[in-house]
Structure 1
Amino acid sequence: MHHATPLISTIVGGIVLAFILGAIANKFRLPPLIGYLCAGIVVGPHTPGYTADQTLAPELAELGVILLMFGVGLHFSVKDLMAVKRIAIPGAIVQISIATALSMLVAWGFDWSWGQGLVYGLALSVASTVVLLRALQERDLIESPQGRIAVGWLIVEDLAMVLTLVLLPAMARLLGGGDANATAPTTMEVLIEVLSTLGKVAAFVAVMLVIGRRFIPWMLERIVWTGSRELFRLGVLATALGVAFGAYALFGVSFALGAFFAGMVLAESEFSHRAAEESLPLRDAFSVLFFVSVGMLFDPMVLVNDPWGVLATLLIIVVGKSLAALGIVRAFGLNNRTGLTIAVSLAQIGEFSFILASLGVYLDILPERGQALILAGALLSIVLNPVLFHLLDRYTAREDKQGDPQPA
């Protein structure tokens, strides 16, 4: 009889606890994501009782990142973005800039370097796709004018974060990462590193556009002809993981970017909807493990030991980002209801923030305190987001009762 291995116990412990706590969160009308993060806290090293394997959890999380990014690519829509590009593109860029600037100001108060403040700010500037889409779907707002703007805005934020994940390793030394005793890089060295990284990305993108766009749909079409649903599901999974690993092994591109482009290429084929449907259960399972592994990094004592840092982080996410988004939407001449919907939709952070914070710590740019504050801000903002949407619902109901016109 085989004994439970660390791999089995980590997966079983994470998924079972995530299911229980996710169901409890859902019962209280909170996103299950909260339950998944809490499951990670329970099995993490900062709480008593069972502790999951600290080596395996990050590797399982990497698989979760690959499948998360593959899902983002599958749902990426140039058409949706172009429909609201007039406000979504400049709005998202300005909002990211404002949120990052506010965060760098707070980081200066923490006595952090500008590089640390930049990574901290970028992590706080981008909203969670999972949380936003769930909130809009619950209110049938996805196809509404404000829903389309929110989704387009989110697409721009996601693209900005993908670019950040690509460039951050190349600029790590400039931002204060790596060996503290090493000589500061010259401008030319940084420029060469960035251009080298962009060159590798360009080569990978070219291969995906020239070969991937033809080969992947052709391969899946042949699989469809076999009539095997199981083989099609396996083909989609092999595409996501194979392209992600190939991008890393051959071009030095991150797993995340490789998986994102695999999803984008597949999204253009006629099998995109079926691929999304067939891969969803596995994507969900490994995404859960990703959020569990993120929760394992969170030390609840940060709420007690660093309350002012947590409060400042939360205010940037919930107040700073929201006011910036509201002001931008109103500046474009849209009404208050649309502005408030966008503002509330973006008043939280999630998966990209976790990925960026983990990368920042790995590259020795972001201090562990920064990651702890980002995790605390994410947990609290996700908990508060349904409350903000409830207040928005009450506002719109009162507005409708008074006979105000619907948004254009």
Structure 2
Amino acid sequence: MPEAIWISLAFVLGLLIKSIGLPPLIGYLGAGFVLSAIAATPSIPLYPEPTAALAHIAHLGVLLMLFTVGLKLKLRSVIRPEVIGGSLLHFGITCLVFAPGLYLLLDITWYVAFMLAVALSFSSTVLAAKVLENKRELRAFHGRVSIGILIMQDLIALLVMSLAAGQTPSGWALIVFGLPLLRPLLFKLLDASGHDELLVLLGMLLALVLGGLGFEAVGLSSELGALIFGAILANHPRSQELAKSLWSVKEIFLVGFFLQIGIGGLPDTDAIVFAIVAALVLPIKGILFFFLMLLFRLRARSGFLTSLALTNYSEFGLIVASIALPEWLVPLAITVALSFLISAPLNRLAHPLYERLSPRLVRFESQKRHPDELPISLGDTRILVMGMGRTGTAAYDWLQTTEARLMALDSDLAKVERHQAQGRNVVYADAEDNTFWEALHMPAVEAVVLAMSDIEAKLIAARMLRKLGFTGYIVAHTMFADEAERICEAGADNTYLTMSETGVALASHLLSRITQAPALHSEKAS
């Protein structure tokens, strides 16, 4: 069975590549090339031709990828000047520079040159998201800007794919404009699906059946359908749980996409030269992003970290090429893999690199600062609550009855707005963002409650508070005893185990009830 050999080779090479700190998809692409080489060798009795099943699996991976992109498509994170302006300006400038250059250097038409420039203008969503997640910087300011730009690029790629496919929609395509009316029904289905296999099946139903086949049936792009159905669910509280449940399924199907590219043919000399030249001009892409971020008043540090995360070529470029330029798939695949080899190690060294380059980079900063990077002053706040989930909200509400000089911070903008609407003094801040700590002024704070759900956020907050010279009382909660010990070592004065405290509270309520009962009975008897 060729499929068994595909899977085995993809796993082995993916594991080898991962062990040296690079994205496994480079290994999957390499596995495809190895299989292609074996197929071209008559003496080896193996001919793993790409089958219809592999092509179908690859297409399903693309649809699931777009569906998960749609689940993250919250307008609040995209409709920002630095995101819209930065992505559109970068796309436009890249196409204006790359297209003529490619036309002059290669013997190709203007259409091919333009589509190659489009493919090279995108940055890798998979690599950037993984790098930011591993460094716990997805919610940091530069992380949010990077993800926003990547989403905008994905939308541009989707538009290009729809135009390149040349599909003519039928009259039934007008039904698409009524899809937002289905949101209440889809929300109820998501609520009813639970947390197990039904949740995964719901995601696949929406992405592959209703979004994929449904849109194809009315003459529209299946990729567009998957993205739209994901976007409809983006504001549901469980949208990210759905995205996480589909993550492994999507990644497995995308293995088929990269295998299919590699099996399609071995890279020739021209393909390798093209990839090397594209890699040599990769710094231009990063430099352009850096100066565009400074144009929108980001600090040099945020601009540098954002640009470094986006300095690579994208798997989305391969998806665009699979539709518009199938004959360029192999050269572009080598280009993407080579950019990952360069980008992944650089991003691991992002902070030390900035420390070394910062004296030169800060000279380009604007005198005006982005609103999200202005210094935060807590004024006369006496007690600070960090994290406004259920525990933080309960602590805030109890403290509010006796303490007027109270403030809370949270890293979820939607949650901040909800608390503000309910009259609580809550502002946006992310404890895992160094920029926040660098700009924080807390002259009157005497005590801090660490109520964030993430253990790393609590550890960072405790360390940074003490590093800033805070000598007041720090208290935290956690679920596990080993985490409580780590939080105290980081600088907290006390840590309470959530479940233990819940048990104590239940027992105290019970004791107060049964001690009151005899008194009530004696009163009734008298």
TM-score range, shorter chain: 0.7 to 0.9
Report what 2:215 is aligned to: 248
- Does the 8 Å CA contact 1:323/1:343 hold for their aligned counterparts? yes
Taking a change above 3 Å as real, the CA distance of residues 86 and 168 of structure 1, as seen in their structure-2 partners, is same
**Aligned residue identity for 1:322:** G
**Larger radius of gyration between Structure 1 and Structure 2:** 2
CA gap of 1:390–1:217, structure 2 versus 1, over 3 A, is: closer
Q: How far 1:126 sits from its partner (Å)?
A: 0.6
Contact 1:298 1:375 in 2 (8 A): no
Task: Measure, in 2, the Cα distance between the counterparts of 1:372 and 1:300.
Answer: 6
- Verify: 1:346 aligned to 2:317, yes or no: no
Q: Deviation per CA, 1:343-366: give whole Å up to 9, x if none.
A: 22111122211110110135xxxx
Distance 2:329 2:244 in 1: 33
Change (3 A) 1:338 1:61: same
Equivalents in 1 of 2:179, 2:276: separation in Å? 44
**Which residue matches 1:108?**
103
> Is 1:395 aligned to residue 353 of structure 2?
yes
SS at match of 1:99: helix
Please report how far the alpha carbon of residue 128 of structure 1 lies from its aligned counterpart in structure 2 after TM superposition: 1.1
Gaps (5+ residues) in structure 1? 171-192, 363-367
Q: Does structure 2 conserve the Cα–Cα contact (< 8 Å) formed by 1:162 and 1:257?
A: yes
Equivalent pair of 1:298/1:376 in contact (CA under 8 Å): no
* 1:164 equivalent in alignment to 2:163: no
Counterpart in 2 of 1:96?
A: 91
Letter of the 2:190 counterpart: L
| Equivalent of residue 338 in structure 2, options 380, 383, 392 | 380
Deviation at 1:219, TM superposition (A): 2.9
Q: Which has the higher contact order (CA 8 A, sep 6+)?
A: 1
The structure richer in strand per residue is 2
2:508 matched to which residue of 1?
Answer: none
SS of alignment partner, residue 268 of structure 1: coil
| Structure 2 CA distance for aligned equivalents of residues 104 and 140 of structure 1 | 36
For residue 79 of structure 1, report the CA deviation from its aligned partner: 2.3
Cα 1:117/1:401, change in 2 over 3 Å? closer
Which sits farther off after the overlay, 261-270 or 111-120? 261-270
How far apart in 2 are the matches of 1:324 and 1:356? 23
Q: Is the 8 A contact 2:124 2:313 kept in 1?
A: yes
SS in 1 for 2:233: helix
Change (3 A) 1:305 1:86: closer
The aligned amino acid for 2:206 is: T
When residues 259 and 312 of structure 1 are mapped into structure 2, their CA distance, relative to the original with a 3 A threshold, is same
Give the match for residue 133 of structure 1: 129
Q: Name the counterpart of 2:35.
A: 43
Q: Structure 1 residues 315, 100: closer, same or farther in 2, change over 3 A?
A: farther
The question of whether the paired residues in 2 share the 8 Å contact of 1:233 and 1:275 is answered with yes
1:70 pairs with 2:67? yes
Determine if contact 1:22/1:34 at 8 Å carries over to the other structure. yes
Q: Structure 1 residues 155 and 312 mapped into 2: Cα distance closer, same or farther (>3 Å)?
A: same
Count how many residue pairs are aligned between Structure 1 and Structure 2.
359
- Contact kept in structure 2, 1:129 and 1:154, CA below 8 Å: yes
Q: Deviations over 1:253-304 (max 9, x none)?
A: 1221111112112323343233223322322211222222223235233xx3
- Structure 2 counterparts to residues 259-270 of structure 1, below 5 A: 259-270=226-237
Q: Distance in 2 between matches of 1:270 and 1:334?
A: 30
Aligned residue for 1:34?
26
The answer as to whether partners of 1:128 and 1:351 remain within 8 angstroms in 2 is yes
Overall identity of the aligned pairs, in %: 26
Q: Aligned-pair distance for 1:122?
A: 0.7
Tell me, yes or no, if the aligned pair for 1:247 and 1:254 is still in contact at 8 Å.
no
CA contact (8 A) 2:290 2:307 kept: yes
**Residue 10 of structure 2, aligned match among 12, 18, 23:** 18
1:216 and 1:253 map into 2 onto residues whose CA distance is: 21
2:299 matched to 1:335?
Answer: yes
Q: Within 5 Å, give how 1:167-182 maps onto structure 2.
A: 167-170=163-166
Give 1:380 deviation, angstroms: 0.4
Q: Does 1:310 align with 2:307?
A: no
Distance 1:144 1:337 in 2: 12
Between Structure 1 and Structure 2, the one with more helix by share is 1
Q: Report the alpha carbon displacement of residue 154 of structure 1 after superposing the two structures with TM.
A: 1.0
Tell whether the 8 Å contact from 1:166 to 1:254 is kept in structure 2 after alignment: yes
User: Measured at CA, do residues 247 and 24 of structure 1 come closer, stay the same or move farther in structure 2, by a change above 3 Å?
Assistant: same
Give the match for residue 217 of structure 1: 187
Cα 1:387–1:280 change in 2 (3 A) is: closer
Residue 399 of structure 1: CA displacement? 6.7
- Contact 1:146 1:342 (8 Å CA) reproduced: yes
Query: What's the CA shift for 1:400?
Result: 8.6
**1:62–1:22 Cα change, 3 Å:** same
Q: Residue by residue, what CA displacement relative to the aligned partner does 1:110-164 show, whole Å, maximum 9, x if unpaired?
A: 1321111111111001111110011112222212221111111111111111111
1:288–1:36 CA distance, 2 compared to 1 (3 A): same
- Normalising to structure 1: TM-score of the pair? 0.79
Q: Is the 8 A contact 1:15 1:289 kept in 2?
A: no
Query: Partners in 2 of 1:307 and 1:285 — Cα distance?
Result: 27
Deviations 1:190-212 (A, max 9, x none): xxx8xx659876x253132123x
User: 1:292 aligned to 259, 263, 271, which one?
Assistant: 259
Q: Say whether the 8 Å CA contact 1:37–1:292 is kept in structure 2.
A: yes
- Report the CA distance shift for 1:51/1:147 in structure 2 as closer, same or farther (over 3 A): farther
Match of 2:487 in 1: none
For the residues of structure 2 that align with 1:286 and 1:90, how far apart are their CA atoms?
33
Contact 2:300–2:358 (8 Å) recurs in 1: no
* 1-structure distance, mates of 2:40, 2:267: 8
- Give me the TM-score of the superposition, normalised by structure 2: 0.62
CA contact (8 A) 2:50 2:264 kept: no
Report the equivalent of 2:139: 143
- DSSP 3-state at the match of 1:168: helix
